[in-house]
A and B are shown apart, each in its own frame.
Chain A
Amino acid sequence: MKKSGMKDFEDKLRNLKDYIALATVPASSYSKSNKEMIRILINTQNTPGVYVTLNKPFNILEKDFKISKIDINKIIFIDAVTKTAGGKTSKTKNCLFIGSPENLSDISLAMDQAVRAVPGKEKFVFFDSLSTLLIFNSAEVVARFIHFLAGKMRVWKVKGIIISLEDKKNNKELIDKLSQVCDIVLDLGG
Chain B
Amino acid sequence: MKLLKNIFVVIAIIAGLYAIFALSPSTEIGFGFFALSFGLLAILWTVNAYRDLSPNSSLRNYTAMFLVSLVFILLHSIWSTLIILFNFKGFLNYINYLFISAAYVAFVFAAYNILKIGKEFGFREQAKEIKKALKPKKSR
- Neighbouring B residues of A120 by C-beta, 8 Å: 134
Q: Which of B58, B119, B122, B126 has the most CB of A within 10 A?
A: B126
Docked CA distance A105–B130 (Å):
25
- Neighbouring B residues of A113 by C-beta, 8 Å: 121-123
Chain A residues near B (Cβ < 8 Å): 46, 48, 71, 73-76, 91, 93-94, 96, 99, 102-106, 109-110, 113-114, 117-120
* A109 in contact with B123 given A48-B130, A74-B130, A74-B134 (CB within 8 Å): no
Chain B residues near A (Cβ < 8 Å): 53-60, 117, 119-127, 129-134
Q: Assess the A73–B132 pair: CB atoms within 8 A.
A: yes
* A99 in contact with B132 given A93-B126, A114-B123, A117-B126 (CB within 8 Å): no
Q: Assess the A106–B127 pair: CB atoms within 8 A.
A: no
Docked CA distance A16–B53 (Å):
34
Contacts A109-B121, A113-B123 supplied; 17 other A-B pairs, CB < 8 Å: A48-B134, A71-B133, A73-B130, A73-B133, A74-B130, A74-B133, A75-B130, A96-B120, A102-B54, A103-B54, A105-B60, A106-B54, A113-B122, A114-B126, A117-B122, A118-B130, A119-B131
- Neighbouring A residues of B130 by C-beta, 8 Å: 48, 73-76, 118-119
- Give the distance to chain A from B114, nearest Cβ to Cβ, in Å: 12
By beta carbon, the residue of chain B nearest A120 is B134
- Neighbouring A residues of B127 by C-beta, 8 Å: 117-119
- Neighbouring B residues of A76 by C-beta, 8 Å: 123, 126, 130
Q: Assess the A73–B121 pair: CB atoms within 8 A.
A: no
Docked CA distance A113–B131 (Å):
16
By beta carbon, the residue of chain A nearest B136 is A46
* A73 in contact with B129 given A109-B58, A117-B124 (CB within 8 Å): yes
Docked CA distance A120–B9 (Å):
40
- Give the distance to chain A from B128, nearest Cβ to Cβ, in Å: 9
Q: List 22 A-B contacts (CB under 8 A).
A: A46-B134, A71-B133, A73-B132, A74-B130, A74-B134, A76-B123, A93-B125, A94-B126, A94-B129, A96-B120, A96-B121, A96-B123, A103-B55, A105-B54, A105-B59, A106-B58, A113-B121, A117-B124, A118-B123, A119-B131, A119-B134, A120-B134
Docked CA distance A117–B123 (Å):
6
- Neighbouring A residues of B58 by C-beta, 8 Å: 105-106, 109
By beta carbon, the residue of chain B nearest A119 is B131
Docked CA distance A113–B54 (Å):
18
- Neighbouring B residues of A71 by C-beta, 8 Å: 133
* A99 in contact with B134 given A76-B126, A94-B126 (CB within 8 Å): no
Docked CA distance A75–B132 (Å):
12
- Neighbouring B residues of A117 by C-beta, 8 Å: 122-124, 126-127
- Neighbouring A residues of B122 by C-beta, 8 Å: 113, 117
By beta carbon, the residue of chain B nearest A76 is B126
By beta carbon, the residue of chain B nearest A100 is B56
* A106 in contact with B59 given A93-B129, A96-B121, A117-B127 (CB within 8 Å): yes
- Neighbouring B residues of A110 by C-beta, 8 Å: 121
